[in-house]
Structure 1
């Protein structure tokens, strides 16, 4: 297929996907995999692959804002990246400094009131990276229309481990009562500012694993996951929209399951539970196939059966 025809097909496909998207997830997290493999395929070194990937990152930020995503988290530098060759690490540090400063000064970031913040063990990074992180966070700290999280020196397990150690220390010192430990207790120790639950994880590069990315906010929320084969520099808007469609299908499936369960349980519930079940069926019955949707007479019958049992 020649280049012109490919571009035309991609444009039509993008329009089709855009029409199919009815809503957007609130928080999207992206594992940007495949920069080095892309570079090898192009005959370049790893640095060129990371540079090309940074350009994709800028486009994804724009796509998120276009469809109404409110928070985007990018897995930019994992704790495993410390094991890469020194020259590659230094090139990554330079790129992080360049792009973070560029983002912090970008007119579109300030026009759209993007709040930039770092997640992870930033103190493990070179001082020049820490300085730019501080610069970007301070430049955008007053904004709240869109949140861009950059995961740096990040490891999901180590993050949870540190939070657990903090809670254990406070319990031992008597500052925290074990009976009072709840979700908020852990979340306060994960990040300085609240992070929304993750609705969708996107991973490029062909690997089908989430690599311990935001385990508390993604696994606990049962986030939808979209794996795709393009390397990160090749990730396109149709790929992005396919990810959003995966999230929507997951939401539709969840709604349908809730409606079916509520309908099946209507006849077995006690009176005080019946009102809530009826509410769930009313709210989600449009998610059911037409043949499975209860009619008004069926729902009225459940209402009339309640008082008779009193």
Structure 2
């Protein structure tokens, strides 16, 4: 079965499939997912899509080719996640630190990003098929104007969709997200919109209960309307979070499979969920304990 999965994934997005093969493959996939669903399923999976440049280098092709293949992998992974019943998928697409790369590389990535965002809004895209909502998290003002406008258009276009949720972290780091959340919280308090004591963000509050609380911060994070990830997967074997969702992943199951992101297959995804199901009782116990402590 897994050999068939890998064969299909090698073909996916690269050449058309015969109709009969596509029908058989969809049937086998449904059966496989039904068996998998007998165990606890994650509600939210986050991916650090690492290895696009190394993929291109190993194959001696243009650097941008790896990112293009990586987008194909993203659409495939999203489709499989949503077919399994995973409601939320979050991906780390572009860090604020990535702006330090060569200007021509950054510009190439911006162009590719706009192209792929536009593709998501086409009639026959995965967005239309599954009716999912798209979020873009990060300091979007740092993006080039065409990319920022494309991202805003995608969010507006899908805002009323009630299907799965795809959140894309661009111009993002977790520390920047937390900093912005604190600033938003202080701004709300200065305006007195929530009935707290005013806080000018500079001096100590006279009423300590009126200062920023954990609840205030969480309400103003980019992820405010999204549950914390059950699984965080970083491809290419790297074990660092690289400033990704640091606040939200204290009880997430962290995994670091060896394949580079463009090579990440359904077999790797299924294995990740099986690993999560194995550790699930421990994670649930830790979550219940954390709720009691709060």
Same fold (TM over 0.5): yes
Query: 267, 273, 279: which is aligned to 1:244?
Result: 273
Asked if the contact 2:134/2:168 (under 8 Å) is kept, the reply is: yes
When Rg is computed on C-alpha atoms for both structures, the one with the higher figure is: 1
Q: Which runs of 5+ in 1 are unaligned?
A: 262-310
Confirm or deny that 1:194 pairs with 2:232.
no
Whole-angstrom distance in 2 between the partners of 1:186 and 1:257: 22
Q: Deviations over 1:116-172 (max 9, x none)?
A: 110000110000001100111111110122111010100001211222244355567
TM-score (norm 1): 0.73
Determine the structure 2 residue equivalent to 1:230.
Answer: 259
Q: Deviations over 1:149-199 (max 9, x none)?
A: 010100001211222244355567743664255443112222386122111
Whole-angstrom distance in 2 between the partners of 1:115 and 1:55: 19
Query: 235, 242, 248: which is aligned to 1:204?
Result: 235
Asked if the contact 2:218/2:224 (under 8 Å) is kept, the reply is: no
Cα distance change, pair 175–231 in 1 and its aligned pair in 2 (3 A)? same
* Secondary structure of the corresponding residue to residue 216 of structure 1: coil
Determine the structure 2 residue equivalent to 1:296.
Answer: none
Query: 41, 54, 61: which is aligned to 2:78?
Result: 61
Q: Deviations over 1:237-283 (max 9, x none)?
A: 01011111222122123457899x9xxxxxxxxxxxxxxxxxxxxxx
Confirm or deny that 1:123 pairs with 2:150.
no
Asked if the contact 1:97/1:132 (under 8 Å) is kept, the reply is: yes
Residue 93 of structure 1: how far off its partner (Å): 0.6
TM-score (norm 2): 0.77
Higher helix share: 1
* Secondary structure of the corresponding residue to residue 46 of structure 2: strand
Cα distance change, pair 29–254 in 1 and its aligned pair in 2 (3 A)? closer
Confirm or deny that 1:51 pairs with 2:68.
yes
Asked if the contact 2:46/2:90 (under 8 Å) is kept, the reply is: yes
Cα distance change, pair 59–183 in 1 and its aligned pair in 2 (3 A)? same
Confirm or deny that 1:91 pairs with 2:108.
yes
Whole-angstrom distance in 2 between the partners of 1:189 and 1:257: 25
* Paired residues, number: 253
Q: Deviations over 1:27-51 (max 9, x none)?
A: 1110000000010000012101111
Whole-angstrom distance in 2 between the partners of 1:192 and 1:206: 26
Whole-angstrom distance in 1 between the partners of 2:102 and 2:84: 39
Confirm or deny that 1:140 pairs with 2:142.
no
Whole-angstrom distance in 1 between the partners of 2:85 and 2:285: 24
